[in-house]
Structure 1
Amino acid sequence: MPILSLFKSTVLLLVFTVFLGGCGESLKAKVAKDAPAEIRKSEPGTIIVAANRTEAYLPLLRGKKIAVVANQTSVVFHKTGHTHLVDSLLALEIDIAKVFAPEHGFRGKADAGELVKDGTDTQTGLPIFSLYGKNKKPSQEQLEGLDLVLFDIQDVGVRFYTYIATLQLVMEACAEKGIPIIVLDRPNPNGHYVDGPSMELEHTGFLGMTPIPLVYGMTIGEYAQLINGEKWLENGKKVDLTIISLENYTHQSAYHLPIRPSPNLPNDTSITLYPSLGLFEGTNVNAGRGTEFQFQRYGASFLDSTKYDFNYVPKPNFGSKYPKEDGKKCFGKDLTEHERMHLVNLEWLLEAYHNSIDKSEFFRTDSFTKHAGTALLQQQITNGKTASEIAASWQNDLDEFKKIREKYLLYD
């Protein structure tokens, strides 16, 4: 055997041995935790994403034919920047057969709701299969011949953000095919609280597939455990699930996302406001799409201009080819300087509704119900309930969910 190949094999064997010594069972999934200090490449206390913990998952990929579920956030960080996970794995001679792409596509350039097509990645030559469009779940044919599926997508912890629906459908397809899935965990920037209305079963869909609150306070790895443990996959199936965990993360950790997780969440402020302003997606009010301040402002031409001292005009741009209120002067609020949120704020939604000149045109009822997860919220708003009264109506469901959630947490 050539010296270089012998050296590589020896190093892999040593890493594999260390990995076997540190792996164990945690709750419903196998969670790899221990990482040799010399491989961490970060200062003590810095959050280390699972994708960076190559020593924990590379031994599980060697000799396997795998598919990767990924988008532009699926990266390995290093001192001078980052490298896409797929590129890193290919460089390490991992056998990637195909890529599955969620909403916004593999490179994250498609509008919200825009059809993502199958194709070929020009940078790697790998076939890409869309999980957003007609086919939101990998078919059994697409999984044929695979030994493993690797999932790595940055979530933001809001129920109607569709990456968790993609996760659930991928898990379901893997369970049906008998293929294991590995989830590389990433921090939840909204993981420090649980709030909002819970999804009612009669309204479930791609904007919410499980009976969880609007903000559920779990990382995507913890949420995968919840899906599996509560038997929420179709027909109560369970998938062979492994979570590669984070290091130095707690649910109170403030985490800056270095890559926007989707075109219309450009910064930390938009992400912290998204649970609250995202409810405007089910109305005719513009929530900043068509500007450079997506989910950091809201407004509409039909809001009473005498009640607001801020206005703007949405125009088509990156991430929003057809924004609501396109070309119209929108009256509303600028929230670009808002601090980190710790609850779902309904005051902005209520204020906009009450200041709407034609309230009959305010809601897109079907869309609003899907975003809220319940038809009750619209009724409460139109019936004049206050924000505190509405929030109080969520409390029993929140208390029950927190008890369930506790069983699947990996971090303090």
Structure 2
Amino acid sequence: MTTGIDVLRARRFDLLRGRRVGLLSHQAALTADGATSAQLLRRALGTRLSALYGPEHGFFGQAGAGEHTYTRRHPDWGIPVHALYGERRSPSPEMLTGIDVMICDLQDLGVRCYTYLATLRNMLEACAAARVEVIVTDRPIPLPHVVDGPMPDPRFTGFVAPCALPLVYGMTPAETALWLRDALGLTLRLQVVPMDGWRRDDAAWDGARPAFLPPSPGIKTWGSAMTYAATVFTEALPGIDCGRGTNLAFRVLGAPWLRAEAFCERLAQTPLPGMTLHPYRYVAGAGAYAGRELDGVRLTVTDPARVRPAEASLRVLRALGDMYGATRIWRHKGVRPAWFDSLYATDHVRRSMQNGAALPALFRQWRRDRQAFARTRRACLLYA
């Protein structure tokens, strides 16, 4: 398969001739020969690559989760590298001055609370206001078939819930840009450069994606990208470790009180389509248990078309509470109920979990709530 940026190169950058270019991207956006999209465009355009823009973690990917980044000059090229996760999260009109066309090339996950969605939305809105054309060069996502999780409650709109999408929304960056333009009613000159030779069913095998560099410090592997939506709740529940600071961040769950063999036996009786769990001992790299050896479980997505990571997250939480007591989960030091609600973009999930509500009924409600979104999504899909 060929990513959008490499398709644009094969077209001899026909959309960019004679134009001053801005680039929203990061060092995880690789080309077929291993260069970054920024390096490719610098070689092709020279000084017509006029400005760079970085999402959370920064253009160079050096900042941690939630850490503010700052605008600077590129140390070699001398052009501005604008930070979109700091004092500003949307480009100002001044930051777009002199730009004829904005290229967006981000390795995203297709998960609502992963903040590159919010940054893409903000860039599209700013470019629409400034009358700057946008070109989105496309890349694969881990779970292109999957639509899962709750729709957001408008009261919880924010940077981890920037628009009316379910938690896992199953659209590539270019498809997402088309959806955002229509959903937000933007008057925007938008072009997308689709991938060549990619199909949704290709998500299960490594040859269907470019070489992988972590798009953020916590997503070190494609496997972790697949399980992120199933484990991100741990950001709000520090009594459960997710492997931050290890090579399997967001792919493992552990705690000193967890007994992995028994827990896996319990979950083997629970519907977890497209996912398996296996015992896995590891040393926590960060958080409440940093440096301690933990009994844990390792999550593996076996069928990217069938997995339901948002549903899996609640089945795992319910099993943990049933086996080890809800107090260990919801009353551990440092628990952040408001952040849990922000991640799911509703307080209904937390209240349902704490009140022991039946999960099948909750999941049926999610599916009903997603019906209107599913129709608008279908209209924006670029690949079978």
1:339 aligns with 2:291: no
Matched letter for residue 390 of structure 1: L
- Counterpart of 2:343 (choices 371, 392, 399) is 371
CA RMSD of aligned residues (A): 2.2
Residue 303 of structure 1 and its aligned partner are, at CA, apart by 5.4
Percent identical pairs in the alignment equals 29
Q: How does 1:7-406 map to 2 (within 5 A)?
A: 47-53=1-7, 54-56=9-11, 58-78=13-33, 82-94=34-46, 95-230=48-183, 232=184, 236-254=185-203, 255-256=208-209, 258-284=212-238, 285-301=240-256, 311-316=281-286, 323-335=287-299, 337-341=300-304, 342-344=307-309, 345=312, 346-354=314-322, 355-356=324-325, 357-362=327-332, 363-406=335-378
Distance 2:257 2:69 in 1: 33
Distance 2:234 2:106 in 1: 25
Distance 2:296 2:344 in 1: 22
| DSSP-derived class of the 2:320 partner | helix
Residue 267 of structure 1 and its aligned partner are, at CA, apart by 1.4
Distance 1:161 1:271 in 2: 10
| DSSP-derived class of the 1:67 partner | strand
Q: Is the 8 A contact 2:57 2:64 kept in 1?
A: yes
Matched letter for residue 267 of structure 1: T
Q: 1:305 to 1:74 in 2, by over 3 A?
A: closer
Distance 2:11 2:213 in 1: 24
Matched letter for residue 223 of structure 1: T
Larger radius of gyration: 1
Q: Is the 8 A contact 1:298 1:334 kept in 2?
A: yes
| DSSP-derived class of the 1:196 partner | coil
Distance 2:200 2:256 in 1: 39
Distance 2:121 2:153 in 1: 17
Q: 1:360 to 1:161 in 2, by over 3 A?
A: closer
Q: Is the 8 A contact 2:22 2:52 kept in 1?
A: yes
Distance 1:328 1:169 in 2: 40
Q: Is the 8 A contact 2:243 2:285 kept in 1?
A: no
Matched letter for residue 388 of structure 1: P
Corresponding residue for residue 38 of structure 1: none
| DSSP-derived class of the 2:371 partner | helix
Return the TM-score normalized by structure 1: 0.80
Return the TM-score normalized by structure 2: 0.85
| DSSP-derived class of the 2:191 partner | strand
Between 371-380 and 105-114, the greater mean CA deviation after superposition: 105-114
Between 50-59 and 267-276, the greater mean CA deviation after superposition: 50-59
Distance 1:92 1:361 in 2: 55
Count of residue correspondences: 352
| DSSP-derived class of the 2:96 partner | coil
| DSSP-derived class of the 2:50 partner | strand
Distance 1:189 1:138 in 2: 28
Residue 237 of structure 1 and its aligned partner are, at CA, apart by 3.3
Distance 2:260 2:106 in 1: 41
| DSSP-derived class of the 1:253 partner | helix
Q: Is the 8 A contact 2:280 2:296 kept in 1?
A: yes
- Gaps of at least 5 residues in structure 1 are 1-46, 317-322
